[in-house]
Every structure is written in C-alpha cells, then in structure tokens.
Amino acid sequence: MLVTLVLFTPGFYVDLPSWLLITVSYEGLALGLEFSVRLLNILFIYLVLVRTTSSQDWMSGLDKLLGPLSQRLPGIRELLAVAVMAVKFLPMIFAETEDYFFSLRKKKANAAIKNYLQSFILFWTLLF
C-alpha cells in the first residue's frame, strides 16, 4: 500500500536521476509517511492491549464477539484459544530468537578472531 501511494499519486515530482524509471511525487511521499505513521500507531496500541489484557478476558470477549457462531462451529473456540496463547507468547519468542542470533554472531566473531590469531601465529612461526 505504501509503495502504491508513493509511486502512483500525482502531483509535483521529485527530481530523480534520469536513468531511474520511476517517478515519485511529494504528495505521494507525504501520503506514504502519513499511512506509515497511522499503521505504527495501530500496531503500538495493539501491543499495549495484548500485553495488558489477560487471556481469560480475551476469550470471554471473543466468545461475545462470535455469539451463536461458537455453538455452530465447536472447534473454533479451541482454535481461538490457541491463537490467543500464541499472541501472548510472541514477545517472549522474539526475545529468545534475538538472544540466540546475538550469541551466534558473538560466536562467529570470536571464531574469526581466533582464526586470525592462529594464522598470525602460524605466519610468524614459519617466518622464523
């Protein structure tokens, strides 16, 4: 959506190099920026609601929202319960993944330093 706003909104065009085949207007950039800010606001509000609402309240709200549909489709309540629990645990999963990749990068950096030192020592031992 952001790309279509930036590329296809008519208006005064930004001076881009001639070899670039796209045209971008100032109005498109302004609309794209406004759209991005609105989307970020929605995401931040959603994250606050997810973090502050208990799972019991989520399930009771979803039951009221579904109404008679939950009696017609008996498996939908369990499916929603799994979805609510997954949403609650996503921040923890992201934090664990970030820690894992940070430690992996640290191990790679340590291995690169160790390989450099070994090659340096080997070079000096062969030299003398």
Q: Is the dihedral of CA 73, 77, 82, 87 positive or negative?
A: positive
Counting other chains too, the contacts that 9-15 makes at CB distance below 8 Å and 24 or more residues apart are: none
How confident is the model at residue 127, as a pLDDT?
62
Separation CA 49–CA 9 (nearest Å): 34
Point out the residues of the chain with pLDDT beneath 50.
Answer: none
Separation CA 10–CA 23 (nearest Å): 9
How confident is the model at residue 38, as a pLDDT?
92
Specify the 3-state DSSP secondary structure of 64.
Answer: helix
Q: How far is CA 83 from CA 57, 67, 71, 87, 88, in A?
A: 14, 18, 19, 6, 9
How confident is the model at residue 1, as a pLDDT?
63
